[in-house]
Amino acid sequence: MRIIRDFDEAKAVLERSTFEIGESRKQEVERIITEVRERGDAALLDFTRRLDGVELESLAASREEVEKAYREVGEELLSALHLAAQRVRSFHLAQMRHSLKEFRQGGLGQILRPLDRVGIYAPGGTACYPSTVLMTAIPAKVAGVKEIVLATPPGKGGVIPSPTLVAADIAQVDRVFKVGGAQAIAALAFGTQSVPRVDKICGPGNIFVVLAKKMVFGVVDIDGLAGPSETVILADDSASPSLCAADLLAQAEHDVLSSSILITTSSKLAEEVDKEVERQLRGLERRTIASQSWQQRGRIIVVKDMEQAIELVNLHAPEHLSLMVRHAPSYVDRIRNVGAIFIGESSPETLGDYVAGPSHVLPTGGSARFSSPLGVYDFLKSTSVIALSDSELEALGPAAATIARAEGLTAHARAVEQRLEQEGKR
């Protein structure tokens, strides 16, 4: 790994560039969405057979399948899932209490209402991600969403992996459907004979899922357009090279497109971490993926001080940031653009992925500049309340009518002026 020591070069490397998606992929996703809208369940069953190689009799997972999944999941994993669910629920209950308020101020106010129905997408097929189910469904449940629907690709034999089904049950998901990819997003957005139409779709997926979410936005809401996962470690000479390398590789093993970046004020640490990554790679089950990710998208950057380091972090706006520096909490207020901050060696990103409490669904691709982690607020909508008195009508009406006439909207103006005339007669 070549270590970058020039600050301007580091800025050029970390500044986001536009990611172009091929027209053929867009057209394929458009075709899938159109087929699902026109043919409903028949299209979903066809796509599942053609794309997943699975012949399904029913799109919905049955209660018998859930009960079988519980029998297949070991006690250790079941206990871990319950612990994770408890911590995710506890965090979002606190978020609900402290972050969102209804209010009335005079005749004005805001009321909050949960969404009626939410669709959760969890990647699957050859792998399973029960943590994604917990991290998306539980905040929705805490927010008061009436119905939560999960879509996830079926595995071999048309069966959803047991950990995913158990996690859905623990998170109180109402219905689970064996459908993945762009076709699942289309089904959730428009509804089919079996899959109900939802108000919002949340959860990560591959490029086809992301494209589909982008295309159906406006018909339904979405949580965001998740890209490859990414982490930045900000470290000084007090950091452990072994732990830095372990955290970089934990990110790299996600996907060949994942990015793992070390920014450090210590040349010695940079060189030690570079060697430690190569040593630890040899012992990984997913070393081929991790090695490719590290070679293609990994970076080690040496800066002269923390000022430069923080500037690079805010420029890059990463999904995850680990602070492995002395007096780590003192730097938090200066970090503006990041999805989640992990402070100190006792707070590895892995805990945030599974059991810390906040949702691990975070902004990627630089979108931390303008968006937030998934939370209860994603499942609530606010409604403005306006209840003005006669005296407020008299005070505000003339200004409203004047602005309306300036905009050429005379009917708007007359709607106010008639009220003022009637009030004057009274």
Q: How many CB atoms lie within 10 A of CB 103?
A: 10
What's CA 184's distance to the chain center, in Å?
Answer: 17
Given 92, 320, 349, 360, the catalytic residue? 320
Q: Which fold has domain 228-370?
A: Rossmann fold (3.40.50)
Q: Which residues pair with 117 in a beta bridge?
A: 147
Q: What residues contact 101, with CB distance under 8 A and at least 6 apart? A: 110
Q: Calculate the alpha carbon distances from 286 to 144, 172, 249 in Å.
A: 39, 32, 10
Q: For residue 298, what is the enclosing H or E element?
A: none
Given 253, 272, 276, 319, the catalytic residue? 319
Annotate 177-207 with b (16+ C-beta within 10 A) or e (fewer). bbbbbbbbbbbbbbebebbeebbbbbbbbeb
Q: Which fold has domain 23-222?
A: Rossmann fold (3.40.50)
Cα-flanking dihedrals φ and ψ of residue 232, to 5°?
A: -125, 130
To the query of whether residue 320 is one of the catalytic residues in this protein, the response is: yes
Pair type for strands 108-114 and 230-235: unpaired
* Cβ(206)–Cβ(228) below 8 Å: no
Closest CA to 131 of 90, 73, 102, 170: 170
Q: Which residues pair with 151 in a beta bridge?
A: 121, 177
- The pLDDT profile of the chain, 426 residues, written as one tens digit per residue, is 789 999 999 999 998 765 556 677 889 999 999 999 999 999 999 999 998 889 998 999 999 999 999 999 999 999 999 999 999 999 999 999 987 788 899 889 999 999 999 999 999 866 789 999 999 999 999 999 999 999 999 988 888 999 999 999 999 999 999 999 999 999 999 999 999 999 999 999 989 999 999 999 999 999 999 888 999 999 999 999 999 999 999 999 998 999 999 999 999 999 999 999 999 999 999 999 999 999 999 999 999 999 999 999 999 999 999 999 999 999 999 999 999 999 999 999 999 999 999 999 999 999 999 999 999 999 999 999 999 999 999 999 999 999 999 999 999 999 999 999 987 766
Query: Is it true that domain 388-425 has CATH number 1.20.5.1300?
Result: yes
To the query of whether residue 15 is one of the catalytic residues in this protein, the response is: no
* Cβ(134)–Cβ(170) below 8 Å: yes
Domain regions of the chain by residue span:
23-222, 228-370, 388-425
Helix pair 130-143, 75-99: axis angle to 10 deg:
30
The helix/strand/coil state of 338 is coil
Domains 23-222 and 228-370 share a fold: yes
The whole-angstrom separation of Cα 295 and Cα 256 is 9
